[in-house]
Amino acid sequence: MVSYRYLKITVGLAALLATLFCFANTYKWERLKLVPEPEFISHGKPTQAVMVNGISGVKSDPNYIMVAATGAVFASTDGGGYLKDCSESLRDNYNMSVDVVSKNIAFVGQDPGLYATYDGGKDWKRINLGDQYGPAGVTGIANAGDTVYVASKDGLYISKDLGRHWIKPKCHWNFCGAYWFHFYIKSPGDIYLSSTRDGIFHSSDQGLTWTSFEPGALTSYIFTKKYLFLAKAIDGFFSKNLLTKKYNVLFDAPGKDFQPSALAKTNNHILYVGDNEADIYQSIDGGKTWHEIAKHLTKDGTVNVIYAPTKNVVYAGIQPHGLWKGTLVTQHKK
């Protein structure tokens, strides 16, 4: 026979565990002002549409961010309170990606090519990668210390000295026609690279050779220790157990056709997914459960990119409605 004391302790522990694992975060959202607000030229006429394609920062200071937007690159040292154009020489070009190495060094990818700054954005210079005109359509940039990786429609480029010298590995993967590349670097010997057309490829030799890891078109992806999370605009939102290789279809938002468009993570426990209706969902238990932290930030628009340096702040580029910031207000039960 179970004693009353044992039952009371068991129920108490169950209640405690339920309390610990049923908290959901709430955020206060605001659209950040870009100074000056860039204009996007559509059909020969300026429009207020602002495309934010990349957000990057430094781990040592979560308040420092750099944003690649339509026609300009912006930097902030106060968490987006003041986002100043730091790219006069890059204006009027379509900035598609950004990677911040430090507060002084950053790289920006454009359709015309690759640019770098070594003085915090005061001056930018076109990077010669060994080709006559440089790469076209630079949409993927990442760094592992002094090593910088660049993916474009013209191929893959690697620099081991922060952009001063470059090599172009011979890849069996056909870059031609592929677009919107995304790197994920676990370590210099464990690198992943995706395109929206071809899926994910893996390199175990610092990017010199690549093998197919996850074939098929996708929008975005992130890794945790045990899982690969995949956003596929048409097929949905999945997780893949890296040990068993089994897939699991994750939530469909109630009452609508959920189409994931962007994934991000703060750490292996705090994850984010945005969709094509300007909604953002968060998981605080490594992807087991999800809750909505932003609902219809704009009447129309797609979450193009998410950057969350800490659990206290989330940045999101909503296409075509600029840059948004969510600040943690409180935690409460779901």
pLDDT tens digit sequence for 115-146: 999 999 989 988 877 654 556 678 889 999 89
Residue 227 lies in a domain: yes
Residue 123 lies inside a defined structural domain of this protein: no
Determine the 3-state secondary structure of 89 from DSSP. helix
Q: How confident is the model at residue 7 (pLDDT cuts 50, 70, 90)?
A: very low
- Residue span of the structural domain in which 332 resides: 218-334
CATH number assigned to the domain comprising residue 272: 2.130.10.10
Does a structural domain hold residue 241?
yes
Closest C-alpha among 276, 269, 334 to residue 308: 269
pLDDT at 79: 94
222: Cα within 13 Å, side-chain hemisphere = 22
Using the predicted structure, report yes or no on whether residue 12 has a pLDDT greater than 50.
no
- pLDDT of 221-264, one tens digit each? 999 999 999 998 677 899 999 999 999 988 665 556 788 999 99
Q: What is the model's pTM?
A: 0.86
State the average pLDDT over residues 281-298: 94
271 in a structural domain: yes
Residue 19 has pLDDT above 90, yes or no: no
Pair 293, 275: CB distance under 8 Å: no
**Range name among 126-130, 172-176, 271-275, 304-308 with the lowest pLDDT average:** 172-176
Within a domain: 200: no
Query: How many C-beta neighbours within 10 Å does residue 158 have?
Result: 17
pLDDT of residue 134: 58
Pick from 311, 314, 333: nearest CA to 323: 314
pLDDT tens sequence across 78-122? 999 999 888 876 765 677 899 999 999 999 988 778 899 999 998
Residue 258 inside a domain? The answer is yes
Per-residue confidence (pLDDT) for residue 107, from 0 to 100: 95
Domain membership flag for residue 320: yes
Split into its structural domains, the chain has a count of: 1
Question: Is residue 101 one of the residues assigned to a domain?
Answer: no
Report the chain's terminal Cα–Cα distance, integer Å: 35
